[in-house]
Homo-oligomer: A and B are copies of this chain.
């Protein structure tokens, strides 16, 4: 699970489709203007989103993109995986050919971390994000409150925004 601005652009665009798609398809030109994302870049992203079954396209005048599934069933992980090819952080590629005493330390390590991040991003749907967005000044995600954290040891001085 890679996490870059590319995936964030895709999620932002998908939220736009969700919010403005209640009556008819949403054009990429409209998304481009509202979210300030290059139209041609959106074309690339939505090409992948369409091939991964995230959206459906309607051609011709009045056309655009609709969600292919209900907003409550499309997760952030789905969107990111559609546009961001997964990477393999383990040097053994999942096989057991790592030698000596530390047999594939990175493998199990990142498998666990990946699994959890994936699990979290797979638990947040577009509907969740839209619901949060439509509150006047919500700030935090409601669904996020549902996750507990072991409380200890964090305490980083950096501001949380724009991390």
Contact = CB atoms under 8 A, between A and B. Distances in A.
A107 to B, nearest CB: 8
B141 A81 contact: no
Contacts of A32: none
Nearest to A34: B102
B150 A148 contact: no
Nearest to A70: B153
A116 B144 contact: yes
B133 A77 contact: no
Interface string A104-121: 011011111111111111
A123 interface: yes
Q: Which interface residue of A117, A124, A129, A162 has the most chain B CB atoms within 10 A?
A: A162
Interface residues of A, number: 74
A12 B106 contact: yes
Given A116-B141, A118-B160, A119-B149, A3 B1 contact: yes
Contacts of A75: 153-154, 156
A132 interface: yes
A115 B88 contact: no
A139 interface: yes
A4 interface: yes
Nearest first, the 10 A-B pairs at minimum CB distance are A3-B3, A122-B154, A112-B141, A8-B89, A1-B163, A115-B160, A114-B163, A123-B149, A116-B144, A88-B162
